Amino acid sequence: MQRRPSAMTVSIDTQGRVAIVTIDNPPVNASSQAVRAGLLEAVTKTEDDPDVDAVVLACAGRTFVAGADVREFDLPLMEPHLPDVIAAIEAASKPWVAAIHGTALGGGLELAMGCHFRIADPMARMGLPEVNLGLVPGAGGTVRLPRLVEAELALTMIAGGKPILANVALTAGLIDAIATSDLLDEAVALAVEHAAPRRTLENAVVGASDAEAFDKTATGLRRKVRGQESIAAAIDAVGRGVRLPADEALAAERAAFLALKSSDQARALRHIFFAERATLADPRAKLTPRPLQRIGVIGGGTMGVGIVSAFLMRGFEVTLIERDEASLHAGADRVHATLDSSAKRGLLPDLDAVSARFDTAIDYAALSDADLVIEAVFEDMEVKKQVFARLDQVTKPDAILATNTSYLDVNAIAAVLSDPSRAVGLHFFSPAHVMKLLEIVLPGAVAEDVVATAAKLSKSLGKIGVLSGVCDGFIGNRIMSAYRAEADRLLIDGASPDQVDSAMRAYGFPIGVFEMQDLAGLDIAWAMRKRRLAEGKISGGYIRIADRLCEIGRFGRKTGAGWYDHVDGTALPSEVVMSIIAEERQTMEAVGKAFATEDVMPRILGAMTREAEAVLAEGIARSAEDIDVVMVNGYSFPRWKGGPMFAARSAGG
Ligand code: 3H9
């Protein structure tokens, strides 16, 4: 087919008697005002053109329309509105076929559902992720989706915000076909095949008779809402979409969308959306990276296994090194178990091919052709230095050597290399194959193309890379240490662990700071505190409660006791802990007043933001936005509050 190059946002070509309407609005074909106006004009032109019998709606570039243009959300509304554009397409007398490649998300999927037929590339994904931006769909998604797929599926897709793959969409009834060769040609063929439009809004709700199942799913989803109002609003909107006449449901959906668009939570979620995409806006990240294919990982503990799995899942070849056969086998088994469980969840299409890229060794010589080696050994400076010294001997001179330390001085580790410029910190979060955050810790001597390589690597792994300077704990753990210390001070001042945890959960954290310690184990942080005490890095007002718990073997859930007593999977307040707290209050001559739960969060947040401001002022973090990204993605700060810096700055006016 002949395509005329066009500078227009929306252009029209023809193939026989089929008009091809192409949206070209890089980077993701968002439905900006220009796109909406162009589409409306295309409806009029194609309706008026006697030589056109049908229309294919396609997109140039990497994706179908990925949604409304989020950048317009802070501006006054601009006509034409997307619901009106979609209504005009749906009302057209000639059939419109959406040809979907890449992602059809939010307003993009709503547009496709307004078309009369849909065909997708096999790799395409479709969804209504508006909840993730603090919204409900605003252009008919909650009304049209349950008229194409089972109402229950529509509900989980809209309230969960996760896209589905083309094959799932086909089975569910969201699309009519998956292209087997050329998407556009097959879309044209589909358009020729169908003489008349088929309007989604004229369908009955799918599975409407099973109201009980729908309500059960809605109740289950509602229980999981921790404070993000868009999820509850989405459940309500789909409920209306399923039960009310379509026109009433559309009007109610639009009103809910507009109300949420200017809410604090939507502003916060937009902030974090753009902040996550700006973390690597550093000139060094744009330089040519070193090639990376062969990866070495030292250490097959929890972190090493997660790192190996993360790399394998993204197409790299990985060699795992352990100190003896037994540890090597244990590590390799855990890697295979991780891969198996990902394959079972449909995340790894070709498990055998992935496993074939995995190798193990005891001898460091196996790393002689590695492009990058990451050490994930015991968190001890001397051990890490020894590993780096050995790597210095065996690796290629331009191989990048990374440490996964979460607190230690990366400059000191780099210094053992004959060329320290090839050292970097890659601080993964556990489990490393799941967690999105990667702190890229830059020692003073780091080469610029090592920064570029680490930045590219974070993208290749599907992670959000954040650049950090070197300090104790980098961005995230340093801030966490500060609010943990404040939580301890709250205990001395009169609060209970349960009160602090409840306040954090009420704020939106999935788990409080003491519950978290019980889950992770208190012993590692204890070892770190001992090191920091020995190095003189902890001074005045040191609170010994956690140390005393460790001294009596209360390491958390794994020992059945920590900040709480763990009985049959339930965490119960502990009298032992309360009496240790009381003794420490006495030792510190604290008064220990009665504490109101609402007094807790201002203190935790205050400690967080004070440390964050210091991290920023010292240049450890590049921006306040980066800090928010770290705390939201690595420390479960509630996303809909935008991160501690956004929350503090918004509260401060
Ligand atoms: C909606 O549709 C509401 C409707 O129901 C109602 C309307 C009335 N707008 O993520 P990437 C930019 S709500 C503006 O790095 P990837 C992004 O900032 C919307 N800009 O690429 C970045 O810019 P830059 C529902 C957007 O390949 C560039 O595109 N839709 C938008 O990893 C590349 O982004 C969504 O929530 C947007 N909607 O992932 C989808 N989206 O280069 C949100 C992206 O200057 N988007 N940009 O940094 C995504 O999930 C991913 O961007 C996508 C591509 C999967 C599409």
pLDDT digits (tens, 9 = 90+) for 229-284: 999 999 999 999 999 999 999 999 999 999 999 999 999 999 999 999 999 999 99
pLDDT at 391 over 80: yes
**Structure confidence by residue, pLDDT tens digits, 132-147:** 999 999 999 999 999 9
At 652 the pLDDT is: 66
At 653 the pLDDT is: 47
Cβ atoms of 588 and 543 within 8 Å: the answer is yes
At 6 the pLDDT is: 44
At 535 the pLDDT is: 82
pLDDT at 3 over 60: no
Buried b (16+ CB within 10 A) or exposed e, 273-302: eebbeebbebebbebebbebebbbbbbbbe
Weakest-pLDDT range from 24-33, 268-277, 348-357, 379-388: 348-357
Q: What spacing in Å lies between the alpha carbon of 109 and ligand 1's midpoint?
A: 13
Between residues 349 and 602, which one has the greater pLDDT? Answer: 602
Alpha-carbon gap, residue 395 to 364, rounded angstroms: 9
Weakest-pLDDT range from 396-410, 432-446, 488-502, 534-548: 534-548
Query: Position 33: which residue type?
Result: Q
Alpha-carbon gap, residue 612 to 123, rounded angstroms: 41
Top mutation candidate among 39, 63, 70, 113 for ligand 1, by most atoms within 8 Å of CB: 70
pLDDT at 119 over 80: yes
pLDDT at 545 over 60: yes
Alpha-carbon gap, residue 462 to 458, rounded angstroms: 6
**Structure confidence by residue, pLDDT tens digits, 450-477:** 999 999 999 999 999 999 999 989 999 9
Judge if the beta carbon of residue 67 lies within 6 A of ligand 1: yes
At 226 the pLDDT is: 84
**Ligand 1 closest atom vs CA 277:** 48
Q: Where are the alpha helices (DSSP H) in 535-596?
A: 545-551, 575-587
Alpha-carbon gap, residue 482 to 204, rounded angstroms: 56
**Ligand 1 closest atom vs CA 141:** 5
| Residues assigned a catalytic role | 110, 130
At 50 the pLDDT is: 97
At 41 the pLDDT is: 97
Q: What spacing in Å lies between the alpha carbon of 30 and ligand 1's midpoint?
A: 7
At 372, is the secondary structure helix, strand, or coil? Answer: strand
In angstroms, what CA-CA distances link 417 with 410, 447, 575?
Answer: 12, 13, 51
- C-alpha 336: how far from chain center: 24
Top mutation candidate among 25, 28, 144, 238 for ligand 1, by most atoms within 8 Å of CB: 28
* HSE-CB of 180 using CA atoms within 13 angstroms: 2
Cβ atoms of 229 and 265 within 8 Å: the answer is yes
**Ligand 1 closest atom vs CA 257:** 6
At 262 the pLDDT is: 93
**Structure confidence by residue, pLDDT tens digits, 271-318:** 999 999 999 999 999 999 999 999 999 999 999 999 999 999 999 999
Give the relative orientation of helices 624-634 and 476-493 as an angle to the nearest 10 degrees: 70
From the CB of residue 102, how many other CB atoms can be counted at a distance below 10 Å?
20
pLDDT at 540 over 80: no
Find the mean pLDDT for residues 42-58.
98
**Structure confidence by residue, pLDDT tens digits, 186-231:** 999 999 998 899 999 999 999 877 888 899 999 999 988 889 999 9
Nearest CA to ligand 1 atom 48: 277
At 497 the pLDDT is: 97
Is this prediction's pTM over 0.75?
yes
Q: How confident is the model at residue 379 (pLDDT cuts 50, 70, 90)?
A: confident
> Percentage of residues in the chain with pLDDT exceeding 90?
88
Q: How confident is the model at residue 4 (pLDDT cuts 50, 70, 90)?
A: very low
**Structure confidence by residue, pLDDT tens digits, 608-631:** 999 999 999 999 999 999 999 999
Alpha-carbon gap, residue 135 to 58, rounded angstroms: 26
At 7 the pLDDT is: 53
Judge if the beta carbon of residue 29 lies within 6 A of ligand 1: no
Nearest CA to ligand 1 atom 19: 67
| Mean pLDDT across the chain | 94
Q: What spacing in Å lies between the alpha carbon of 142 and ligand 1's midpoint?
A: 20
**Cα distance from N-terminal residue to C-terminal residue, the chain:** 56
Judge if the beta carbon of residue 35 lies within 6 A of ligand 1: no
